[in-house]
Amino acid sequence: MASAEDDEMIYLGPVTFDEPIPVSAIPEEHGALQAASHVITIIYSGSGETRSLRGVDAVNEDDGWAWSAIWDTIHHTLETLARRHGRTLHTAATFASDGRGHGVLVVDAGNRLHDCQEDEDPEVHRTRTCSCYSWNPPSVEITEHERVPVPHAVPAGPFIDHIVTCADHGEVVCATSEHAAYFRREAHIVAEHTPRPLPLGPRPAAEALPARVLEQINEAAQELRRARGYDGGGAISYRDAARERTRRAEAELSESDLNDTVAALLQLCVELRAELSQ
Ligand SMILES: [Zn+2]
Ligand SMILES: [Zn+2]
């Protein structure tokens, strides 16, 4: 489950599909996993044209430590692949983290991955009666939009997923609640489809943000770009600087005179932009 908190962590042990997926069918997702190859070993079966993705594991117990956001991206990619290709995820991985304690990774019957703390009952996660996906976004006014239809419900094992697909940008979100799906849909419309003249230009999310917030985001992106030039320890100071800038951006945003829903939507835009800027 995604978290905005900075936390270094590791998942040791394989997360695999019941049946491998041909790599040739999933160039984008495979690329996303390869981008994390400093953290994970990608497990294949077959070779050449018939090479298929079996799953992933941490590279090793020292180098597999990474920001939780990186692991979130890896797990999200695996969940998405399982859903789109009708596979079932399996794992016996354990996790350890600076801030979240440790425990085991649990797959629920709808192919979502959960961190199960060592003192928790895994069954609570398997049945989604846990709090992992219980984020309750503010209510939004539902707008009509010809490019972004309202969420549609799709069965996921015993659960229902709520998927928003944009005619221009593809899948926007696959949420576990309809409420969250509507919120992400409105955020997407604000960020990508808000017409001129409010806000102006091809990057409406950027222009909807107060200037002082945007300045901090751009500085954060700059620090992240600098961090890319360094391995391991050398990158840490730049990443720290980027996080500090992001915190300031959030602080500026919370001081802005915006109503709660607009602030929450913009908050999400801040996070999405910071991710994209990397
Ligand atoms: Zn859970
Ligand atoms: Zn779109």
Which string of DSSP letters, residue by residue, matches 52-83? EEEEEEES-TTTT-EEHHHHHHHHHHHHHHHH
CA distances from 272 to 17, 245, 277 (A): 28, 15, 9
Task: Provide the percentage of residues in the chain whose pLDDT is more than 90.
Answer: 56
Q: Is residue 1 in some structural domain?
A: no
pLDDT, tens digit (0-9, with 9 covering 90-100), for 41-77:
999 999 988 999 999 999 999 999 999 889 999 999 9
Residues 13 and 114 in one domain: yes
pLDDT band (50, 70, 90) for residue 7: confident
CA 172 and chain centroid, separation: 11
Angstrom distance (rounded) from CA 167 to CA 170 = 6
Judged against a pLDDT cut of 90, whether residue 135 lies above it is answered with: no
User: DSSP assignment, residue 120?
Assistant: S
Residues 13 and 120 in one domain: yes
For ligand 2, the distance from its centroid to the CA atom of residue 180, given in whole angstroms, is 17
Q: Give 189's contacts (C-beta < 8 A, 6+ positions apart).
A: 143, 145, 148
Neighbouring C-beta atoms of residue 234, cutoff 10 Å: 11
Q: Is residue 199 in some structural domain?
A: no
For ligand 1, the distance from its centroid to the CA atom of residue 158, given in whole angstroms, is 15
Last residue of a domain, one of 193, 217, 235: 193
Average pLDDT score over residue span 215-237: 75
Residues 39 and 90 in one domain: yes
Q: Residue 166: nearest ligand to its CA?
A: 2
Range from 190-194, 241-245, 263-267, 274-278 carrying the lowest mean pLDDT = 274-278
Q: Is residue 217 in some structural domain?
A: yes
For ligand 1, the distance from its centroid to the CA atom of residue 184, given in whole angstroms, is 21
Residues 118 and 13 in one domain: yes
Last residue of a domain, one of 71, 101, 126: 126
For ligand 1, the distance from its centroid to the CA atom of residue 125, given in whole angstroms, is 4
Neighbouring C-beta atoms of residue 92, cutoff 10 Å: 11
Angstrom distance (rounded) from CA 191 to CA 206 = 8
User: Do 182 and 138 meet the contact criterion of CB atoms below 8 Å apart?
Assistant: no
| Closest to 209 measured CA to CA, from 219, 199, 201 | 199
Bridge partners, 162 (sequence order) = 153, 175
Q: Residue 172: nearest ligand to its CA?
A: 2
User: Do 88 and 109 meet the contact criterion of CB atoms below 8 Å apart?
Assistant: no
Residues 16 and 103 in one domain: yes
For ligand 2, the distance from its centroid to the CA atom of residue 194, given in whole angstroms, is 10
| Closest to 224 measured CA to CA, from 206, 239, 245, 246 | 239
Q: Is residue 146 in some structural domain?
A: yes
User: Do 164 and 172 meet the contact criterion of CB atoms below 8 Å apart?
Assistant: yes
3-class SS at 157?
A: coil
Total domains in the fold of the chain: 3
Residues 113 and 179 in one domain: no
Q: Is residue 3 in some structural domain?
A: no
Highest mean predicted confidence (pLDDT) among 2-6, 199-203, 213-217 = 213-217
Residues 59 and 121 in one domain: yes
Residues 90 and 169 in one domain: no
Q: Residue 126: nearest ligand to its CA?
A: 1
Neighbouring C-beta atoms of residue 98, cutoff 10 Å: 11
Q: Give 251's contacts (C-beta < 8 A, 6+ positions apart).
A: none
Q: Is residue 75 in some structural domain?
A: yes
pLDDT band (50, 70, 90) for residue 176: very high
Q: Residue 184: nearest ligand to its CA?
A: 2
Q: Is residue 2 in some structural domain?
A: no
For ligand 2, the distance from its centroid to the CA atom of residue 204, given in whole angstroms, is 12
Average pLDDT score over residue span 223-243: 74
Query: Which domain does 158 fall in, by range?
Result: 135-193
The tokens for 43 are: 């497990």
Judged against a pLDDT cut of 70, whether residue 80 lies above it is answered with: yes
Q: Residue 165: nearest ligand to its CA?
A: 2
User: DSSP assignment, residue 209?
Assistant: S
Q: Is residue 229 in some structural domain?
A: yes
* Protein residues near ligand 1, an ion, with CB under 5 A: 114, 125, 130, 132
